[in-house]
Amino acid sequence: MATDVKIPALGESITSGIIASWQVQEGDYVESGQPIFELETDKITSEAMAECSGVISIKSAEGDEVEIGQTVAVIDESAARPAGAAAPQAESPAEAAPAAAPSASGKEFPPSPAVRRIAEETGINPASVAGSGKDGRVIKGDMLSAQGSAPAPQAAKPVASSVPQGERTTRRKMTPLRRKIAERLVAAQQEAAILTTFNEVDMSAVMNLRKRYQEKFVEKHGIKLGFMSFFTKAVVNALKEVPAVNGQIEDGEIIQNHYYDIGVAIGAPKGLIVPVVRDCDSQSFAEIEMQIINYAKRARDGKITMDDLQGGVFTISNGGTYGSLLSTPIINAPQSGILGMHTIQQRPVAINGEVQIRPMMYLAHSYDHRLVDGKEAVTFLIKIKEAIEAPERLLFNI
């Protein structure tokens, strides 16, 4: 019996994608639930699993553009499982091929190419790593997490350059996600009247608060207290004070939002994505931090879904994680505003007539001037500044 492997439906607006990579080879025996390929669309990158066990025959190559519902492979369920599949023993752990990692269900699944590559580069045995994938399977993100806590290998193999020798330029096709990012950014600038206002914020109070309670916060919640939860709460407070920013223009009408789902820009391996943290007004600092951490991990592993990216009313982008001192972020249409955070620098500032060195951050608020007036935009940014410089305001919504 042969089973067709078809491109699954990922959302109403997604009609096609590109096969980013095959995680199996022609003629391989695949297990039910095993990752077999990655599909990259204009919004997300998802991992496809085998629906049954058998020998796979691949019908579409890496880089091919495929339609939803198209058959890209066939699995022959009648094919016998190959005997003697155990990997040969190597002379040293670093040279040994990674064994199949046991799952939470007790089954063993062969590691994916990404897991095998990391195992070869780091010497980490996938069997010793706790898996977070389907049925407890070890995925790429698990190996990367384990790599962060493992000692570095003694010697790294030289990486061959992917640029052909002697070539002055290379040409490659734009991915669907990169095309969509380009289209949305250009459309935002053409359709909205984007203006940016700036300010700077003294991070002393937030940094002192984090230092004072970080240990107890980690002990209770198992995660670190970061800056994003403070800024998310500050944005919610400012949206309540200046509701014009929490609106959008659609078909000649103004839609006023009365909820606070905040998008957080995350740099994923395939490009920038903006998953949405829901109901931030009712979420605790720990709940916001946990959602952001989970989104970052899922983005890294290609597990972000369409629902994760839809419905935000405002976006926060933190270019400071890459060292950006100042920028003019572009709004994430149809939203009417975006906050740009930047790197923290020790700078001299005047405090009560005296020059002091303080950890300062530049803030940028880009907004749609068709809907938001300059006074409202400036007031909005001031409210964020006040909340960060006196974070106790966030406790009392003032």
Torsion, CA 20, CA 296, CA 333, CA 258, rounded to 10: 140
The verdict on 253 and 380 lying in the same domain is yes
Residue 229's pLDDT band (cuts 50, 70, 90) = very high
In a domain, 373, yes or no: yes
In a domain, 92, yes or no: yes
The verdict on 266 and 392 lying in the same domain is yes
Whether 2 shows a pLDDT value over 80: the answer reads yes
Contacts of 343 (CB under 8 A, 6+ apart): 319, 320, 323, 324, 325, 361
- The closest alpha carbon to 338, from 393, 272, 391, belongs to 272
The verdict on 92 and 72 lying in the same domain is no
4, 279, 307, 373: the catalytic one is 373
Question: In terms of pTM, does the model score above 0.75?
Answer: no
In a domain, 131, yes or no: yes
Residue 87's pLDDT band (cuts 50, 70, 90) = very low
Residue 275's pLDDT band (cuts 50, 70, 90) = very high
Helical H segments across 192-274, by residue range: 204-221, 228-241
28, 135, 261, 369: the catalytic one is 369
Q: What is the pLDDT of residue 109?
A: 61
Residue 40's pLDDT band (cuts 50, 70, 90) = confident
The verdict on 95 and 8 lying in the same domain is no
Q: What is the mean pLDDT of residues 193-205?
A: 97
Distance CA(37)–CA(3), nearest Å, equals 16
Q: What is the pLDDT of residue 41?
A: 79
373 is a catalytic site residue: yes
The verdict on 91 and 79 lying in the same domain is no
76 is a catalytic site residue: no
Minimum mean pLDDT range among 8-17, 313-322, 335-344:
8-17
Count of domains forming the chain: 3
The percentage of the chain sitting over the pLDDT mark of 70, rounded to a whole number, equals 82
Q: What is the pLDDT of residue 274?
A: 92
Last residue within a domain, chosen from 65, 84, 103: 84
Distance CA(262)–CA(273), nearest Å, equals 13
Minimum mean pLDDT range among 14-18, 47-51, 134-138:
134-138
Token pair, residue 395, equals 């406790």
The verdict on 22 and 45 lying in the same domain is yes
Residue 111 structural domain: 86-151
Query: Helix crossing, 285-301 with 140-149: angle to 10°?
Result: 110
Distance CA(35)–CA(99), nearest Å, equals 16
Distance CA(130)–CA(381), nearest Å, equals 43
Residue 110's pLDDT band (cuts 50, 70, 90) = low
Last residue within a domain, chosen from 25, 49, 84: 84
More confident residue, 373 or 105: 373
Whether 215 shows a pLDDT value over 70: the answer reads yes
In a domain, 199, yes or no: yes
Distance CA(48)–CA(39), nearest Å, equals 7
The verdict on 25 and 144 lying in the same domain is no
The verdict on 67 and 105 lying in the same domain is no
Domain CATH for 74: 2.40.50.100
Q: What is the mean pLDDT of residues 193-214?
A: 96
Domain CATH for 292: 3.30.559.10
Domain CATH for 137: 4.10.320.10
The verdict on 250 and 343 lying in the same domain is yes
The verdict on 3 and 30 lying in the same domain is yes
More confident residue, 217 or 45: 217
Token pair, residue 252, equals 């000649």
Whole-number average pLDDT of the chain = 83
The verdict on 204 and 353 lying in the same domain is yes
In a domain, 175, yes or no: no
Type of residue at 107: K
Whether 218 shows a pLDDT value over 90: the answer reads yes
In a domain, 135, yes or no: yes
- The closest alpha carbon to 23, from 108, 146, 96, 116, belongs to 116
Residue 91's pLDDT band (cuts 50, 70, 90) = very low
Residue 28 phi/psi, 5-degree rounding, is -70, 150
Q: What is the mean pLDDT of residues 293-303?
A: 86
pLDDT digits (tens, 9 = 90+) for 131-151: 766 567 777 667 766 765 544
Q: What is the mean pLDDT of residues 53-80?
A: 87
Token pair, residue 196, equals 């940016």
- Spatial contact of 302 and 47, defined as CB atoms under 8 Å apart: yes
Torsion, CA 86, CA 89, CA 95, CA 98, rounded to 10: 30
In a domain, 183, yes or no: no
The verdict on 129 and 218 lying in the same domain is no
In a domain, 284, yes or no: yes
Q: What is the pLDDT of residue 106?
A: 53
Distance CA(71)–CA(56), nearest Å, equals 12
